[in-house]
Chains A and B, each alone.
Chain A
């Protein structure tokens, strides 16, 4: 099954409540998949430049003195530790931090960008949300996922969202059938993979298409032709938010739009606490139809 949610705010006064609203939406979807949960929040840009969200299987040792360890490798950075994750904010290039991490396999990069922070772990959504203090996080848009694993193991790295490019992330309900072949093609094209998960392939596909100059909408149109299987995707970029379902459309999806927000839920239940939902335009996204919104294009 899996449960997915997304929230794209139009009304800036709601931004401080993004984490709180998204947490409620995700927790409501717990019974669609209790294996693991994750959330991506597009928050304020770092004054330093780049944000990297790092996950560690040994946070006590890895994160102790992480800022000093980075400094001794010539990377000046602020480090904020949240349970098993740490956010590194730095003026250095993301690749410098990646090089620093190459001989430290207990630490993995969850996401990189100007705005995005990604938190994911095994366990119930309510525990994951609590552990990372998601409710206190503000932002412009975010997506979340609660997983019932099918195509790969129940691990932190198998949890969603998947991020394969700067400020890009994806959550998926469904299963892909051509992911192995597509992964080989993407690897040949220079994409890097952390897992054997099918959804990571979808994320990398979109990253690869956008790197060719497509916008999110055009990349999602391409996915309809190039990805085989069942999918409802919710995707975030630095300023955009997109939704697409495969042509069979057996994975559920409900959307709501008001002057204040665009919201996505696997079920209507996820949306019932949103402000003004009683009078919102509520609809089921059509099969094989791309929906996307962009803060920059709206501005």
Chain B
């Protein structure tokens, strides 16, 4: 276990150490104390390391994570786990805007609430939010799953492609081309699996509604294909 105290060590020390881990290394457990809202904590992890952050972080924590497990025992600022490739990021508190933006893989779990634009332009990431999410979430989401145990704000899933959205509470409004869709057995099964992975035990998949793209916008119309 390597401990970085960010009241004395620099952010560069921490991130360089995380980037310098050799293939097959055994010493892969890290602890970060006194993050005090620092930006870019534990970004660019490319090995299966585990990082426990004790306190709240600022912008872009765990960005580009590829295979690491990062747990923040506090809240996260804007852009947490932005462009995650694989691995797991868990935020015990709340997350600010655009959590999990553009993520291509992995699992982001937010145990509190997420602000606006959660999962914007998601491309394969799975996001499970125990609380509620803000407006414009999953805007232009291309693939992956966004699961919300609470409520969703305005314009959920605006201009959605193929990302699948599951909301247990109310949706304030749906964005352009986003509609409620039937929950088929495969969706119940997938949702059950995601809730399991996110450590949610007291909620059944049947309590959720599914939302997805109506596929009516310009780019879905075959007659527009010859414009290129």
What residues of chain A have their CB less than 8 Å away from a CB belonging to chain B?
Answer: 247-250, 252, 254, 267-272, 282-284, 286-287
Question: Contacts of A269 on B, CB cut-off 8 Å?
Answer: 36-38, 58
Q: Are A272 and B134 interface neighbours, CB within 8 A?
A: no
Name the residue of chain B whose CB is nearest to the CB of A278. Answer: B55
Question: Contacts of B94 on A, CB cut-off 8 Å?
Answer: 283-284
Interface status of B135 (Cβ within 8 A of chain A): yes
Q: Are B78 and A268 interface neighbours, CB within 8 A?
A: no
Question: Contacts of A271 on B, CB cut-off 8 Å?
Answer: 37
- List B11-65 residues whose CB lies under 8 Å from chain A: 36-38, 56, 58-59
Q: Are B116 and A249 interface neighbours, CB within 8 A?
A: yes
Name the residue of chain B whose CB is nearest to the CB of A250. Answer: B97
User: How far is the CB of B140 from the nearest CB of chain A, in Å?
Assistant: 16
Question: Contacts of B134 on A, CB cut-off 8 Å?
Answer: 249, 286-287
Q: Is the interface of A mostly helix, strand, loop or mixed?
A: loop
Picked from A250, A268, A272, A287, the residue with its CB within 8 Å of the CB of B77 is: A268
Q: Is the interface of B mostly helix, strand, loop or mixed?
A: loop
Picked from B75, B115, B116, B135, the residue with its CB within 8 Å of the CB of A282 is: B75
User: How far is the CB of A45 from the nearest CB of chain B, in Å?
Assistant: 36
Interface status of B96 (Cβ within 8 A of chain A): yes
Question: Contacts of B56 on A, CB cut-off 8 Å?
Answer: 268, 282
User: How far is the CB of A170 from the nearest CB of chain B, in Å?
Assistant: 23
Question: Contacts of B135 on A, CB cut-off 8 Å?
Answer: 247, 249, 287
Please count how many residues in chain B sit with their CB below 8 Å of the partner chain's CB atoms.
16
Question: Contacts of A283 on B, CB cut-off 8 Å?
Answer: 94
Given pairs A254-B96, A284-B94, A287-B116, 20 additional interface contacts (CB within 8 A)? A249-B115, A249-B116, A249-B134, A249-B135, A250-B97, A250-B116, A252-B77, A252-B96, A252-B97, A267-B58, A268-B56, A268-B58, A269-B36, A269-B58, A270-B37, A271-B37, A272-B37, A282-B75, A283-B94, A284-B115
B76-119 CB mask vs A (1 if < 8 Å, else 0) is 01100000000000000010110000000000000000011000
Q: Are A268 and B75 interface neighbours, CB within 8 A?
A: yes
Can you give 12 A-B contacts (C-beta < 8 A)? Answer: A249-B116, A249-B134, A250-B97, A267-B37, A267-B77, A268-B75, A268-B77, A272-B36, A283-B94, A284-B94, A286-B134, A287-B116
Tell me the bound Cα distance from A282 to B95 in angstroms: 12
Name the residue of chain B whose CB is nearest to the CB of A269. Answer: B37
Question: Contacts of A272 on B, CB cut-off 8 Å?
Answer: 36-37
Name the residue of chain B whose CB is nearest to the CB of A268. Answer: B37
Name the residue of chain B whose CB is nearest to the CB of A273. Answer: B36
Q: Are A252 and B116 interface neighbours, CB within 8 A?
A: no
Question: Contacts of A248 on B, CB cut-off 8 Å?
Answer: 116
Q: Are B38 and A252 interface neighbours, CB within 8 A?
A: no
Tell me the bound Cα distance from A271 to B38 in angstroms: 12
User: How far is the CB of A268 from the nearest CB of chain B, in Å?
Assistant: 4
Question: Contacts of A249 on B, CB cut-off 8 Å?
Answer: 97, 115-116, 134-135
Question: Contacts of B75 on A, CB cut-off 8 Å?
Answer: 268, 282
Given the interface pairs A283-B94, A287-B134, the reply to whether A252 lies near B37 with Cβ below 8 Å is no
User: How far is the CB of A135 from the nearest CB of chain B, in Å?
Assistant: 21
Question: Contacts of A267 on B, CB cut-off 8 Å?
Answer: 37, 58-59, 77
Tell me the bound Cα distance from A271 to B77 in angstroms: 13
Q: Are B96 and A284 interface neighbours, CB within 8 A?
A: yes
Name the residue of chain A whose CB is nearest to the CB of B57. Answer: A268
Q: Ordered nearest first, which 6 A-B pairs have the shortest CB separation?
A: A269-B37, A268-B37, A272-B36, A284-B115, A268-B56, A267-B58
User: How far is the CB of A230 from the nearest CB of chain B, in Å?
Assistant: 13
Q: Are B36 and A252 interface neighbours, CB within 8 A?
A: no
Question: Contacts of A250 on B, CB cut-off 8 Å?
Answer: 97, 116
